[in-house]
Structure 1
Amino acid sequence: MFQRKSAFEIRHQLGLSPAVAILGARQIGKTTLAKQIAAEFPDSIYLDLENAQARAKLDQADVFFEANRHRLVVLDEIQNAPDLFSTMRGEIDADRRPGRFLILGSASFKLLQQSQSLAGRLALVDMAPLLLSEVHQSFEDIQTLWVRGGFPGSYTTPQNDASWLWRDAFVRHFLHTDLPALGINVEPELMRRFWRMVAHLHGQLFNASSIAASLGVSSPTVTRYLDHLVQSLMLRRLEPYHANLGKRLVKSPKIYVRDSGLLHYLLGMRNVHDLMGHPNTGASWEGFCIEQICNHLPTGASVSFYRTAAGAELDVVVETGRETTGFEIKFSSAPKVSKGFWQACEDIGVHKAYVMAPVQEGWAMAKDVQVVSPLDIPMLLSKA
């Protein structure tokens, strides 16, 4: 059993807000977690809206909600019943007690578009695949989670081959079933080709025209494909740091496959031996660490990367309003940084900087610059 980081936030928000939404990709454990939390509420109700019988119970949703006003109502796959949002709004306005609804959605953009009528009544909680802070028992857990990724079905299998088959089935189902269900009508094989191209460009600046030429489609079409995979939580678009520094800053975003296991599947890397001999090993490690950072950000923090035409660069810049923290990510047990790292720290005026590497114990590299392990991320960002 994993102690999901999202669980604390969900429980907290249910004590404050009438409705709480858990947003995350399919198969990351939203339903399991929601049922665990619902079991803590006496007489709660769980309805899977992919099930016709469950939807039938809500034919007269206003009557159903009023009759069960004293109970926590859990609505899974809420995007299948968008009309419920307006009914929920009226019911919440009639009784604004916290902890009335817990709703689950498999893609952020569609649920957010549908839930505009619940503005001011709905708290949003993002749920990621498994994080190091949720599974860590030993240093070897880093390697297992990195290779297999954080989807529980992939991570928990007893053998690497079974994990690979799980990811193969997941990608097929996602392309052929999940995307159409979200209203995204793209030929599955074309989207697979795009996804694989992005995997090969993982951690690089996004160049729509270059990918468009390879796919034989237009640049706007490629940008739309990117939007689809970002909005369905498969890709992360990391925007560049913007400030009036008098520097020629890079303006294109960097693109990452959010789950390292899916990245390795798309690149054909079945095990750690394939991974260690692959030219994308460093980029894969970078994306893995970035996901750990992004999923432990303090409330209200922003994340970006910094790069100038002159070669100054920081992989991650975290701004909290109080201070700015820089992260440089290296796949080396004895990491070294370039002149561009020091220049970037000076340009931005970071309060502190960390060099993240696969090490068991960190050390001070310079004043306000430390080498750290990704296991340290929760502690480091809790102080940011």
Structure 2
Amino acid sequence: MRKAVDYRPRKAFDLVSEALLDTRVVVVNGARQVGKSTLAERVIREHPNGIAKFLDHPLTRSSAEDDPIRFIDHDGLMLIDEVQRVPDLWLAIKHLVDRDPRPGRFLLTGSARLLSLSSLPDSLPGRSETIELWPLSQGEIDGEPDGFIDAAFTHGADIRAEPRDLRRKDYLERVIRGGFPEAVTRETSRRRQRFFQSYVDDLVSRDVKQVADIQKAADMRRLISLLAAQNGGLLNVSRIAGELGVSRPTVQRYVEILETVYLLRLVPAWSANTTTRAVATPKVTFVDTGLAAHLAGPLTDVSIGGLMENFVLGEITRQLSWSDAYARIHHYRDRDQHEVDGVIEDNAGRIIGIEVKAAETVRSHDFKGLRLLRDRLGSRFLAGFVLYCGSQSLPFGDDLACLPISALWTTPRP
């Protein structure tokens, strides 16, 4: 087993452990360097007959390629790390679990969205569960409950956050640090920058080539830089294609690849019958704000706004992976330029609206988009929050309130 350094407990640990009780194959997907292997090894330690195999070792990988069936022959739980490196293992696993449907047979990890990879010969419908592991949340870093989503769907706008001694500069420090465990443990900005640069280099030279045949790595690097400049804004494929001198389909394909390897997360647009003027373009966010800040270069008021929004939407995305509320996050913008940064909708159609302000004060005007949604949606609108860099929690009319951004991770689950 590999030794974990400065391990922080992950919320996903319980999700994986629970899934193994009734599911044959559990897949932990996520970006490289988010702690998938460390998490999986800690799960394996709870299984006395569990074994781990790491496909980044050339000899282990060669064995798996030579005889996949024999490679997976084991009576207990088997961890296979970086399973996308040997696609033929997928069929071998399917063959085995079809004939022996006991739960808890395989724990697989991958640094790409495995079911999106064309190299995989088949999926495992009804046999597997996928759990996404994101960079560390602020609650995981600070040992806080990370309960905002469940509290909002339970209590609506009546949440009140405990004051924290955090101001705009403190939030910016968290944004620039990001959530990669390796970056969090590095004590200086200079050392983090070296980590981020190496990360991008490895991503383009290794991960991207694993999932697609990219002929011009320089175009991919330029695309990543352009997307960092658009962080928090709508994806403008035509403009990017013009700046790169490539076709729109090429840009769209490259963006899909960057989503597959967990560099980007496009936030889909939200619309409903009552908001027919909604714009359908997705919003650009990065999986890690520290990496996004590194790529964006010197901070400006515009880039800080986009990074802070990315930070908040990222924390919400992490919470949605373990919250009791089954919900998804979108953004809303219409042709009249009304917008809401985050629209969280649960399976019952209830809506929580989120607006992000990279400032220490809030004005009534900041609730304009949230009021629009509230008035159009009626009873479906549960609550709207402006999350900002100040410290007070205050009501702003029916179903509306402002909260400090720290409420995302300090609010207890109900």
Question: What TM-score do you get using the length of structure 2 for normalisation?
Answer: 0.84
Whole-Å separation in 1 of the counterparts to 2:215 and 2:413: 41
Unaligned runs of 5+ in 1: 270-274
Q: Does residue 42 in structure 1 map to residue 48 in structure 2?
A: yes
Q: Tell me, yes or no, if the aligned pair for 2:353 and 2:370 is still in contact at 8 Å.
A: no
Whole-Å separation in 2 of the counterparts to 1:305 and 1:381: 25
| 1:233-382 paired onto structure 2 within 5 Å | 233-245=262-274, 247-269=276-298, 275=299, 277-297=300-320, 298=323, 300-322=326-348, 323-336=350-363, 337-349=366-378, 350-377=381-408
Q: Tell me, yes or no, if the aligned pair for 1:128 and 1:295 is still in contact at 8 Å.
A: yes
Question: What TM-score do you get using the length of structure 1 for normalisation?
Answer: 0.90
**Once the 2 structures are TM-superposed, how far is the Cα of residue 171 of structure 1 from its aligned partner?**
0.8
Q: Does residue 231 in structure 1 map to residue 266 in structure 2?
A: no
Whole-Å separation in 1 of the counterparts to 2:190 and 2:42: 30
Q: Deviations for 1:205-263, whole angstroms, at most 9, x for unmatched residues?
A: 22211111111111111111211112211112111112112642112111112211111
| 1:6-155 paired onto structure 2 within 5 Å | 6-58=12-64, 59-66=66-73, 68-69=74-75, 71-109=76-114, 114=120, 116-136=122-142, 142-155=171-184
Q: Deviations for 1:6-51, whole angstroms, at most 9, x for unmatched residues?
A: 1111111111211100000111111111111111111321111122
Q: Against the structure 1 CA distance between its residues 307 and 64, is the aligned structure 2 distance closer, same or farther, given a 3 Å change threshold? A: closer
Q: Against the structure 1 CA distance between its residues 101 and 178, is the aligned structure 2 distance closer, same or farther, given a 3 Å change threshold? A: same
**Once the 2 structures are TM-superposed, how far is the Cα of residue 191 of structure 1 from its aligned partner?**
1.0
**Once the 2 structures are TM-superposed, how far is the Cα of residue 168 of structure 1 from its aligned partner?**
0.8
The 10-residue stretch of structure 1 (117-126 or 304-313) with the greater mean CA deviation from structure 2: 304-313
Q: Tell me, yes or no, if the aligned pair for 2:44 and 2:79 is still in contact at 8 Å.
A: yes
Paired residue type of 2:356? I
Q: Deviations for 1:25-78, whole angstroms, at most 9, x for unmatched residues?
A: 111111111111111111321111122321344443334434x21x21100110
Whole-Å separation in 2 of the counterparts to 1:361 and 1:339: 20
The 10-residue stretch of structure 1 (26-35 or 142-151) with the greater mean CA deviation from structure 2: 142-151
Whole-Å separation in 2 of the counterparts to 1:130 and 1:191: 26
Question: What SS does the aligned partner of 1:118 have?
Answer: coil
Question: What SS does the aligned partner of 1:293 have?
Answer: helix
Q: Against the structure 1 CA distance between its residues 241 and 37, is the aligned structure 2 distance closer, same or farther, given a 3 Å change threshold? A: same
Paired residue type of 1:121? R
Aligned residue pairs: how many? Answer: 375
Q: Tell me, yes or no, if the aligned pair for 1:47 and 1:76 is still in contact at 8 Å.
A: yes
Whole-Å separation in 2 of the counterparts to 1:246 and 1:236: 24
RMSD: 2.3
Paired residue type of 2:306? A
The residue aligned with 2:155 is none
| 1:146-225 paired onto structure 2 within 5 Å | 146-225=175-254
Whole-Å separation in 1 of the counterparts to 2:377 and 2:334: 11
Question: What SS does the aligned partner of 1:306 have?
Answer: strand
Whole-Å separation in 2 of the counterparts to 1:279 and 1:166: 25
Whole-Å separation in 2 of the counterparts to 1:7 and 1:49: 22
Whole-Å separation in 1 of the counterparts to 2:269 and 2:255: 17
Whole-Å separation in 1 of the counterparts to 2:377 and 2:265: 23
Q: Deviations for 1:267-325, whole angstroms, at most 9, x for unmatched residues?
A: 124xxxxx4x5431111100110011112124642221112222322111111123211
Q: Give the number of the structure with larger relative contact order, counting CA–CA contacts within 8 Å between residues 6 or more apart.
A: 2
**Once the 2 structures are TM-superposed, how far is the Cα of residue 167 of structure 1 from its aligned partner?**
0.5
Q: Against the structure 1 CA distance between its residues 64 and 338, is the aligned structure 2 distance closer, same or farther, given a 3 Å change threshold? A: closer
* Percentage of identical aligned residues: 29
Q: Against the structure 1 CA distance between its residues 262 and 169, is the aligned structure 2 distance closer, same or farther, given a 3 Å change threshold? A: same
**Once the 2 structures are TM-superposed, how far is the Cα of residue 345 of structure 1 from its aligned partner?**
2.5
The 10-residue stretch of structure 1 (118-127 or 359-368) with the greater mean CA deviation from structure 2: 359-368
The residue aligned with 2:159 is none
Q: Tell me, yes or no, if the aligned pair for 2:275 and 2:376 is still in contact at 8 Å.
A: no
**Once the 2 structures are TM-superposed, how far is the Cα of residue 117 of structure 1 from its aligned partner?**
3.6
**Once the 2 structures are TM-superposed, how far is the Cα of residue 344 of structure 1 from its aligned partner?**
2.6
Q: Tell me, yes or no, if the aligned pair for 1:242 and 1:249 is still in contact at 8 Å.
A: yes
The 10-residue stretch of structure 1 (336-345 or 235-244) with the greater mean CA deviation from structure 2: 336-345
**Once the 2 structures are TM-superposed, how far is the Cα of residue 333 of structure 1 from its aligned partner?**
1.8
